[in-house]
Amino acid sequence: MKKNKISIYGLTLFLLCCKSVTAKSQTSVTPESKEAYRQRMEWFDEAKLGIFIHWGIYSVDGVSESWSFYNNRIPYDQYMEQRKHFKAENYDPKQWVELIKESGAKYTVLTTKHHDGFALWDTKAGSLSAKKSSPAKRDLIAPFAEEVRKQGLKLGLYYSLLDWSNENYPNHTRTTSRYDIKKDPKRWEKFCKFNFSQMGELNETFKPDLYWFDGDWEQKAEDWNSSGIIKLLRSTNPNVIVNSRIQGYGDYATPEIGVPVVRPKNRYWELCYTINDSWGYQPGDTNFKTPQMLLSTFVDCLSMGGNLLLDIGPEADGTIPQEEVEVLKTFGRWTSKHKEAIYKTRAGIPGNYFNGYTTLNKAGDVLYLYMPYKPIGSVPLKGIINEVKKVWVVGSGEALHYKLYNKLSWSEVPGIIYIDVPENVQDPNITVVAVQLDGPIKLYGGEGQVITSN
Ligand code: GLC
């Protein structure tokens, strides 16, 4: 068994985690009013873009993070050998955060420990860490957290609840399991104690704004003691936001890679997304999406009221691959020009009113139209009951010519507004046009009308 030092704080955690075995013993989470929840989620709701970072020993050989040994693609020992070459010698957290900030992201989420159990911070629980078991020999989270704060971004920490390396965790690989937690609850308690110690350390040391849990699918809420985890985190970090991967206790949904087609039911959501097909650094994976495709997906998320958490996978020495740097820089150029139509927006209107993505400002009286294509001639917008007061190009503020057609005196069907978007105002990636209405947007939802009197 790995020896875990138990501090007084750790003992408290132990008590919490001992309660984890049966559903009945769940510690209840203090209920929160709708308004308090809204306030707690406010920064997240307005952040829109986050940068995810998957960094760990898997970047040494460029294999898939944790899954490569779990799925028996390579032997466990070979996978773990990578830690002996994980040096992080060119790691420059200041530069990382500068680039993240430049992209227009308002928060960033870094892996503190993936499913392989290798901790990037100097954990006191166990010895599998960058500090204790790799030539990096230091805490890699602390300087990052410091920079994130210094540069005014929100800090998110990814933590894998499951740990396939821990000897008290039941699963090891897809084909080998250590034990059954129902048959040996005491052993499971030991694992819970370890997990709670690590989460307690992260919470105390870094006081993150957000936790990005992962790996919850292997156990049930009562086994993880999900409510106990939330209670622990909130005890010293009351406003912390937690993603949904904690078996029913999270604050927001996390669709992964597959872009939602309809607006997710959860009020708050975030699409986590890769630039190529991998989370971590895999030089063999050159299936990069273009900056244009990625920006378009970002706007797709905005139009459905969600965030994009775009992932990068640095190399073992800390270098961010050039392809990813370019994506972040393209995002930076576009987001700095279109701030007005990004951060304080909410979901737009259905696609049958406008051929493209849309959002609204908070008051609902400015409609933003996003065109990830080159418009030919003028662009139609239909079904808007309001009077249009003004139309302009976001970024330059240049007023655009528009004209209302088909507004018939006998019909309640609003006409079609045609907006001229000449080539000289178009953005090289996505042109955004703002439409000022006479009040909160009102949409016509009918099938058209037949004349009865003229
Ligand atoms: C999945 C994978 C993991 C990755 C995560 C990011 O749950 O297990 O490898 O870190 O998604 O969303």
What pLDDT digit, counting tens, does each position of 199-255 carry?
999 999 999 999 999 999 999 999 999 999 999 999 999 999 999 999 999 999 999
Closest atom of ligand 1 to 114 CA is: 10
Cross-strand pairs, 119: 113, 129
Distance CA 164, CA 117 (A): 7
Calculated CA dihedral for residues 138, 53, 144, 40, nearest 10 degrees:
-130
Q: Determine the average pLDDT of the residues in 127-146.
A: 98
pLDDT score of 2 more than 70: no
Give the angle 168-170-171 at the CA atoms, nearest 5°.
Answer: 125
Q: Whose CA is nearest to atom 9 of ligand 1?
A: 65
Distance 214 CA to ligand 1 centre (A): 7
Domains of the chain in start order, with CATH, are 8-337 (3.20.20.80), 347-437 (2.60.40.1180)
Residue 279's pLDDT band, with cuts at 50, 70 and 90, is: very high
Pocket test of ligand 1: the residue of 53, 256, 274 to mutate, having most ligand atoms within 8 Å of its CB, is 256
Give the residue, 23 or 103, on which the prediction is more confident.
103
Nearest to 249 by CA among 27, 75, 87: 27
The pair of structure tokens assigned to 391 is 């139309």
User: Which amino acid does the sequence have at 290?
Assistant: T
Q: Which residues contact 81 (CB under 8 A, 6 or more apart)?
A: none
DSSP 119-137: BSS--SB-S-BHHHHSTT-
- Looking at residue 125, what is its pLDDT? 97
| Other beta carbons within 10 Å of 221 | 18
pLDDT score of 42 more than 60: yes
Q: How many Å is the Cα radius of gyration of the chain?
A: 25
Nearest to 380 by CA among 359, 402, 358, 409: 402
The pair of structure tokens assigned to 313 is 């996978």
Pocket test of ligand 1: the residue of 214, 271, 272, 274 to mutate, having most ligand atoms within 8 Å of its CB, is 214
Q: Whose CA is nearest to atom 8 of ligand 1?
A: 215
Cross-strand pairs, 404: 417
Alpha-carbon torsion 91, 95, 99, 100, what sign? positive
Distance 223 CA to ligand 1 centre (A): 21
Distance CA 79, CA 165 (A): 11
The pair of structure tokens assigned to 311 is 């992932």
314, 86 contact by CB (below 8 A) = no
Distance 257 CA to ligand 1 centre (A): 10
Distance CA 353, CA 362 (A): 19
Cross-strand pairs, 319: none
3-state secondary structure of 442: coil
Q: Whose CA is nearest to atom 4 of ligand 1?
A: 279
- Looking at residue 158, what is its pLDDT? 98
- What pTM does this model have? 0.93
pLDDT score of 13 more than 90: no
For the beta sheet containing 346-347, the strands, ordered from the edge strand earlier in sequence to the opposite edge, are 346-347, 357-360, 366-371, 431-437, 388-393
For the beta sheet containing 270-273, the strands, ordered from the edge strand earlier in sequence to the opposite edge, are 241-242, 210-214, 154-160, 107-113, 49-53, 307-312, 270-273
Distance 228 CA to ligand 1 centre (A): 23
